[in-house]
């Protein structure tokens, strides 16, 4: 797994370099998005170099090295019913809005809709302004979802959303084949 993760990181670096070269050559975000099979906004959010309008300085693309593992750990605690531990990771604003009981209800609703939780897929971490976003594919017995976790600059959970996976992403190979 470690070797595969290293190869994935190297592939991401190579893709970033290719996008940077395309931008330097004058290609638009729309063109880059088309090549990548996504929207121009999604391409920019993943590969762009935005400038902070408050300071005029480039915004960081550095993702904390533990962000993906922390997000998967949070999902694992959700699946294990360790609601208080999950809420303990929240920033003050999140704790005002979501308590352990509400978190348990949201998880129960998800399980009621798409069955027992089976496992996570490979998380994708990226920067979003000052925050770090991690999207974690979630595989359930009757469907797939994505857990999107937003970490603030202090590493606290500032957002948590469970949403259905896109239809194309939720298609699983038929085990009978």
Residues of the chain with CATH 3.10.450.590: 67-164
Say yes or no to pLDDT of 24 above 50: yes
pLDDT tens digits along 119-133: 999 998 888 777 899
Three-state DSSP at 78 gives helix
For domain 67-164, is the CATH number 3.10.450.590? yes
Which residues make Cβ contacts (< 8 Å) with residue 72, sequence separation at least 6?
120, 123, 136
pLDDT tens digits along 64-106: 789 999 999 999 999 999 999 999 999 999 999 999 999 999 9
- Tell me how crowded residue 83 is: count the other CB atoms within 10 A of its CB: 20
Predicted TM-score (pTM) of the model is: 0.66
* Structure confidence at residue 172 (pLDDT): 45
């Amino acid at each position: 797994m470690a070797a595969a993760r290293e190869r994935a990181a190297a592939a991401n670096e190579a893709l970033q370099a290719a996008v940077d070269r395309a931008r330097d050559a004058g290609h638009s975000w729309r063109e880059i998005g088309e090549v990548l099979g996504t929207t121009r906004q999604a391409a920019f959010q993943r590969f762009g170099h935005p400038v902070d309008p408050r300071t005029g300085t480039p915004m960081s693309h550095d993702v904390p090295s533990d962000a993906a593992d922390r997000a998967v750990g949070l999902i694992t605690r959700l699946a294990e019913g360790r609601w208080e531990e999950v809420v303990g990771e929240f920033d003050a604003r999140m704790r005002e809005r979501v308590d352990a009981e509400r978190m348990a209800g949201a998880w129960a609703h998800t399980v009621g809709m798409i069955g027992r939780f089976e496992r996570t897929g490979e998380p994708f971490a990226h920067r979003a302004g000052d925050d770090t976003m991690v999207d974690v594919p979630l595989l359930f017995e009757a469907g797939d979802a994505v857990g999107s976790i937003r970490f603030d600059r202090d590493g606290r959970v500032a957002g948590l959303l469970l949403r259905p996976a896109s239809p194309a992403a939720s298609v699983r190979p038929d085990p009978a084949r």
